[in-house]
Amino acid sequence: MAKKPFEGERIYTIPLREAYKKAERKRGPYAIRLVESFLKIHTKGKEIKLGQELNKKIWERGVKHPPKKVRIKAIKDGDIVKAELMGFEYKDFKAIPKKEKKGMKERLLGRLGPKALKKEEEEKMVEGKAEKMEERTEEKHQKKEAL
């Protein structure tokens, strides 16, 4: 007689000792994959979503030292399984978008403030005047050559 896949909630203790057989820098990501594969096997869910607190717990001591085991509460809703650390309610975990890095010029302007902006505008105006003067002199030379 085949087991029926569960609907609702279940509590699991997932061993993550297997992660310690990997290289130090690969243990954290491997521990996450272990949790996901364990839940796929035991809940027969198609999509696994890990909660914010569970993610924090696994990464708490860095990439080299994930916990040896975690106790989670899994909630199955159709084909989606949502897992969260015991004692916490499930919250979606979303990665923080990366900030766009400023160039050297923007960082300096940010540090120097409005004085630097005024000075830069003045330099642009001086450059603009210099360009106009060059254009005028070129036009004069062209006229002389045409005569």
Helices (H), 5-103: 27-43, 52-59
- With cut-offs at 50, 70 and 90, classify the pLDDT of residue 18: very high
- With cut-offs at 50, 70 and 90, classify the pLDDT of residue 139: confident
Pairing of strands 69-77, 80-85: antiparallel
For residue 108, the model assigns a pLDDT of 74
pTM of the model: 0.62
For residue 50, the model assigns a pLDDT of 93
pLDDT at 147 over 70: no
For residue 22, the model assigns a pLDDT of 96
Domains of the chain, by residue range, sit at 8-85, 104-146
pLDDT at 127 over 80: no
Mean pLDDT of the chain: 86
Distance CA 92, CA 95 (A): 10
pLDDT at 2 over 60: no
Would you identify the CATH topology of the domain 8-85? Answer: Ribosomal Protein L31e; Chain: W; (3.10.440)
Contact 52/40 with Cβ under 8 angstroms? no
For residue 126, the model assigns a pLDDT of 78
The pLDDT tens digits for 75-122 are 999 999 999 999 999 977 677 788 888 888 778 777 777 777 777 778
For residue 93, the model assigns a pLDDT of 66
Q: What is the mean pLDDT of residues 9-37?
A: 96
For residue 3, the model assigns a pLDDT of 64
Element (H, E) at 12: strand 8-15
| CA distances (Å), origin 88, targets 34, 51, 56, 94, 139 | 21, 9, 12, 17, 77
Give the number of other CB atoms < 10 A from CB of residue 48: 17
Structure tokens at 50: 């890990």
For residue 98, the model assigns a pLDDT of 83
